[in-house]
Amino acid sequence: MAIPHPRDIQLAVVNWLDDRYPFTKAVDEALYQRVPNFANAFYYCFGGMVFILIVLQLLTGVFLSFYYVPDAGTPGNSPAYNSVLFIQNTQYLGWLIRGTHFWGANLLIIMVLIHMARVYWTGSYRAPRELNWIVGVIMLLCILLLSLTGYLLPWDNKAYFATQVTIKIGGLTPPPQLGALIREILQGGAVVGPATLQRFFTIHVFLLPALIVLLMYVHFRFIRAHGISEPM
Amino acid sequence: MADAAAPKRVTRRTFLGWWMAALLTSTVVTALAPLLLYLWPAPPKSQKKGLLTISVPKPLSQLADGEALKFDAPSNPNSAFIMADGGGDNAAGELAFGGYAVNNKGKIDVFAITCSHLGCSIALNEQARRFDCPCHGSRFNLDGTVLRGPAPAPLSHLTWKEGTDPNTIQVDGIVLGF
């Protein structure tokens, strides 16, 4: 018997799957799209870089959550802080996963701003693409909120007092009654404490990632519907 | 002519195809395998095996026939006993968080508290001179052998010796470190 070429095995697997659901057709329709020549420039890649960075954040975030403990504990003995120390110093490659998540978050904001600047300079926000600009701005807010909530999770002094400052700023929303309400809701109590960590963890890990994935899907469907905007 | 008619088992194209497939696969595996190691938890730094000192109300040598003492693994620091043997759901090297020291007609035995069926904690039935499991009704003789199923195997022993203080025993165990 002749030994098959790897491609024959690959074809056999794909054919088996295609007989049961038209995967090839679905993937072709989703991915094979002609890119116009004017979009063949490096500054049209910034949005894709943002996408890759978000995927990287999702993956490293899941990896971090295997060891992170969202429990403030008691003063001087905080499982949250200890688990971050464990990831950083003890767990194999933990420094790399956490470092990638940290620097990825910083890079992400930079890339989002560069992507936004490109969209502005090529006038890609104009009719009929306004909705996509709006979705993009909401995602920018999501990413800023992710940065804010993620900053508290190590539960060290820097995290604690930085969050105290940002919550105070949120509490300045006029009128004062509304400001106090916002502060109370964010803090989950009268002061920044264990309840705040729990809330920020849930927002950072469950709420915002789900929202941003949903919005990314909407963002990409809009792009497919409109096509890439022509330069001015 | 005969050679040309017979198909070659490995053509140059097939060989190169497998070579490329192996190269790509090994590259991806080399890059991603360390990430799988990340998922493998490092043992806590303060984890260590050794003898755990357990206080008992009276020296085991003073246990009357059919009398048993129940004791727990220390919770500060969080510790567990290591089974010396086992069968069914128990196995040598597995952990138990409690034990029974029992005098069976003059012979002192120390058992892990976990039933060999599904790991529930057995309890002494002093009148009937046996251990009963509350979960599925298994019964064990005081020497650890099965009196009634569903337990498939006898109770696991714990390795122990008398402590320096007569009111303590030392049992083989592990400080979990968390």
pLDDT of residue A218: 97
Q: What letter would DSSP give residue B137?
A: -
| pLDDT band at B3; cut points 50, 70, 90 | low
Which residues numbered 87-146 in A keep a CB inside 8 Å of some CB on B?
90-94, 96-97
Average pLDDT (A73-89) is 91
Q: Does pLDDT of A5 surpass 80?
A: yes
Render pLDDT for A179-195 as a digit per residue (tens, 0 to 9): 999 999 999 888 888 99
Decide which of 2.102.10.10, 2.60.40.2250, 3.90.1170.50, 3.20.10.10 is the CATH code for B48-175.
Answer: 2.102.10.10
Candidate from A5, A90, A96 with C-beta closest to B42 = A90
Domain boundary assignment for chain B: 2-39, 48-175
Distance, first Cα to last Cα, chain A: 62
B92: alpha, beta or left? (left if phi > 0; alpha if psi -120 to 50): beta
Render pLDDT for A197-216 as a digit per residue (tens, 0 to 9): 999 999 999 999 999 999 99
Contact A188, A70 (CB under 8 A): no
Question: What residue type is assigned to position A60 of the chain?
Answer: T
| Residues B17, A7: C-beta atoms closer than 8 Å | yes
Render pLDDT for A116-156 as a digit per residue (tens, 0 to 9): 999 999 999 998 999 999 999 999 999 999 999 999 999 99
| Residues A63, B21: C-beta atoms closer than 8 Å | no
| Residues A91, B14: C-beta atoms closer than 8 Å | no
Closest of B20, B133, B156 to residue B85, by C-alpha:
B156
Candidate from B7, B9, B45 with C-beta closest to A90 = B45
* Residue carrying structure tokens 């709006």: A134
Which residues from A are below 8 Å from B39, CB to CB?
63, 66
Render pLDDT for B137-173 as a digit per residue (tens, 0 to 9): 899 988 888 888 888 888 898 988 887 888 888 888 8
pLDDT of residue B145: 87
Residue in A closest to B8 by C-alpha: A2
Closest of A94, A52, A185 to residue B34, by C-alpha:
A94
Contact B123, B134 (CB under 8 A): yes
| Residues A93, B35: C-beta atoms closer than 8 Å | yes
| Residues B42, A92: C-beta atoms closer than 8 Å | yes
pLDDT of residue B119: 84
Contact B98, B155 (CB under 8 A): no
Render pLDDT for B69-94 as a digit per residue (tens, 0 to 9): 888 888 888 889 999 888 888 888 88
Residue in A closest to B37 by C-alpha: A92
Residue B73 C-alpha, separation from nearest chain A C-alpha, in angstroms: 23
HSE-up of residue A21 (Cα within 13 Å, Cβ side): 3
Q: Does pLDDT of B66 surpass 50?
A: yes
Cis peptide before B7 (omega within 30 of 0): no
A63 in B contact zone (CB under 8 Å): yes
Cα–Cα–Cα angle for B73, B83, B93, rounded to 5 degrees: 115
Which residues from B are below 8 Å from A86, CB to CB?
42
Closest of A123, A125, A200 to residue A166, by C-alpha:
A200
Residue A87 C-alpha, separation from nearest chain B C-alpha, in angstroms: 9
pTM beyond cutoff 0.80: no
pLDDT of residue B2: 52
pLDDT of residue B5: 62
> For chain B, what's the residue count?
178
For residue A28, count CB atoms less than 10 angstroms from its CB and return exposed for 0-12, middle for 13-18, buried for 19 or more: exposed
CA distance A118 to A110: 12
Q: Which of B16, B35, B36, B46 to mutate to test the interface with A (most CBs of A within 10 A)?
A: B35
Candidate from A2, A3, A63 with C-beta closest to B38 = A63
Contact B98, B69 (CB under 8 A): no
Helix (H) or strand (E) holding B38: helix B12-39
| pLDDT band at B6; cut points 50, 70, 90 | low
Render pLDDT for B20-48 as a digit per residue (tens, 0 to 9): 999 999 999 999 898 888 888 877 778 88
pLDDT of residue B74: 85
Candidate from A2, A4, A90 with C-beta closest to B7 = A2
Which residues numbered 169-188 in A keep a CB inside 8 Å of some CB on B?
none
Contact B110, B100 (CB under 8 A): yes
| Residues B9, A3: C-beta atoms closer than 8 Å | yes
Residue in B closest to A91 by C-alpha: B42
pLDDT of residue B1: 47
pLDDT of residue A151: 95
Residue B79 C-alpha, separation from nearest chain A C-alpha, in angstroms: 19
| pLDDT band at B4; cut points 50, 70, 90 | low
| pLDDT band at A33; cut points 50, 70, 90 | confident
CA distance B25 to A10: 14
Residue in A closest to B10 by C-alpha: A3
**Mean pLDDT of all residues belonging to chain B:** 85
Which residues from B are below 8 Å from A92, CB to CB?
34, 37-38, 40, 42
How far from A161 is each of A158, A165, A194, B82, B159, CA to CA, in Å? 6, 6, 14, 45, 52
Which residues from A are below 8 Å from B18, CB to CB?
3, 5-6
Contact A72, A223 (CB under 8 A): no
Domains and CATH numbers, chain A: 43-226 (1.20.810.10)
Closest of B166, B111, B175 to residue B143, by C-alpha:
B111
What is residue B3's three-state secondary structure? Answer: helix
Render pLDDT for A38-80 as a digit per residue (tens, 0 to 9): 888 899 999 999 999 999 999 999 999 999 999 998 888 899 9
Distance, first Cα to last Cα, chain B: 75
Q: What letter would DSSP give residue A36?
A: P
